[in-house]
Structure 1
Amino acid sequence: MVQMPDIESKVAAVQDLLSEKFGVRKRPLPKMLQRTGRRLPRRMHARAQVLVEAQRLSANPKLAQMVDQAGVARAFDDLTAHLDAIDVADRRKGAILSVAAAVAFNILVVAGGFIFWLWWAGYV
């Protein structure tokens, strides 16, 4: 049988990691998962749902006996390993570089169009 404090500590650890890595505010775990959206892979959402379900079941003493302790531990380990591997600085650099690349591409397209227009009008 899984103890309620054990599940609560695991859920709290996952909530801390989600707020640290994705910048979502601390709320109940289902709401935080909803806020992370597609930034968290589908497989990790499924692992987090195991924790949510275990938390829900452990609130009732009779239903707490139905919680699969090994499954909860495996889901917690997988989820924390994935979240620990996320590098926030690298994600931020990637986002900045992506925006910079889009702006540079747009400038090149406009400049190319302007040069083509100059050539077509006979100025070049």
Structure 2
Amino acid sequence: MTESDRIEDQIAATVALLRARLGVHGKSLRLALRRAKHRLPRRIYRRAMELARVEPMMAHPRLRMTLNAPSLSAAAREVQAHLRGIDLADRRKGWWLGMLGALVFNLLVFGALLLAFLAWRRLI
């Protein structure tokens, strides 16, 4: 197995991890990254875009030879390590806690406004 074949496999594994961990779908890495851009740290997004830029070049035999395989392998390992480190249960718990926090805040503001209105109308 050549180095460029390994890079192709790593790109496919990165797309699969994006689907599994972030829930983004796309036929190519570029489309998947477009949907996951704001969920990834800037450094990881840039490294993943390096892979997405060379994805079309992998199909061409002569262009494939011009690629910097060690750099691309390192980028793929870095992106995959970040994606594997995402805890799905923690993300769900964080989403629920954020939603409940916003709901409690809105109820407190509503209660304060209601008390202010009642005090203004001298009903308290």
User: What does residue 85 of structure 2 align with?
Assistant: 85
TM-superposed deviation, 1:56:
2.2
Moved over 6 A (4+): none
**Distance in 2 (alpha carbons) for counterparts of 1:67 and 1:59:** 12
Q: Does 1:17 align with 2:17?
A: yes
What is the Cα-based RMSD across aligned positions, in Å? 1.5
**Normalised by the size of structure 1, how large is the TM-score?**
0.90
* 1:44 and 1:79 in contact (8 A); partners too: yes
User: What does residue 49 of structure 1 align with?
Assistant: 49
Unmatched tracts of structure 1, length 5 or more: none
Deviations 1:31-64 (CA, angstroms, capped at 9, x unpaired): 0001112001221121112212332222212111
User: What does residue 61 of structure 1 align with?
Assistant: 61
**Distance in 2 (alpha carbons) for counterparts of 1:108 and 1:119:** 16
Secondary structure at the residue paired with 2:24? Answer: coil
* 1:7 and 1:55 in contact (8 A); partners too: no
**Distance in 1 (alpha carbons) for counterparts of 2:116 and 2:53:** 61
Q: Which amino acid aligns with 2:118?
A: L
Q: Does 1:97 align with 2:110?
A: no
**Distance in 2 (alpha carbons) for counterparts of 1:7 and 1:117:** 65
Between Structure 1 and Structure 2, how many residues are aligned?
123
User: What does residue 72 of structure 2 align with?
Assistant: 72
**Normalised by the size of structure 2, how large is the TM-score?**
0.90
